[in-house]
Amino acid sequence: MSEENFEQEHQKALYNLKAELPNDESLAAMVNIFKAFGDMTRVKIILALAETPLSVGEIADTLNMSQSSISHQLSVLKQLNLVSNARRGRNIHYRLSDQHIITIFRQTQEHIIEDENDF
């Protein structure tokens, strides 16, 4: 393709972009999920729940963190429908609401690994 055609195509793409970019509202859901994944505590909670359902206390113990902190973070994850909970005896057990999440994590790890190979 000639340089002029390239530039012409580029201008067309640029013109379309402004109209076709998703609006804030439809992006917000995705951004909020990524925000949730952008915290080490929440990621660890998710990775732990990927192995087995756990009570709040068990998570706090496993991650060596306060019960309150874990509870706060679980409520964040729950609001985003990333986890669900159910009482079991005197505890409340949390579980991942969707195995999709782990797929996303794996994909991201792959990106990182391929990135490291660039050096």
Query: Rounded to an integer, what distance in angstroms lies between the CA atom of residue 55 and that of residue 85?
Result: 9
Answer for the pair 58, 70: CB distance below 8 angstroms, yes or no: no
The single residue among 8, 67, 79, 103 that binds a second copy, judged by CB under 8 A, is: 103
Least distance in angstroms from the C-beta of 48 to a second copy: 6
Least distance in angstroms from the C-beta of 41 to a second copy: 10
Query: Rounded to an integer, what distance in angstroms lies between the CA atom of residue 108 and that of residue 55?
Result: 27
- Residues contacting residue 114 through CB under 8 Å, at least 6 positions apart: none
Answer for the pair 48, 96: CB distance below 8 angstroms, yes or no: no
Asked if residue 13 binds a second copy (CB under 8 A), the reply is: yes
Answer for the pair 44, 63: CB distance below 8 angstroms, yes or no: yes
Asked if residue 27 binds a second copy (CB under 8 A), the reply is: yes
The single residue among 62, 65, 91, 92 that binds a second copy, judged by CB under 8 A, is: 62
Least distance in angstroms from the C-beta of 27 to a second copy: 6
Asked if residue 79 binds a second copy (CB under 8 A), the reply is: no
Query: Rounded to an integer, what distance in angstroms lies between the CA atom of residue 43 and that of residue 89?
Result: 27
Q: Please give the residue ranges that form the binding site for a second copy (CB under 8 A).
A: 10, 13-14, 16-18, 20-22, 24, 27-40, 43-44, 47-48, 51-52, 54, 58, 62-63, 81, 97-98, 100-101, 103-105, 107-112, 114-115, 118
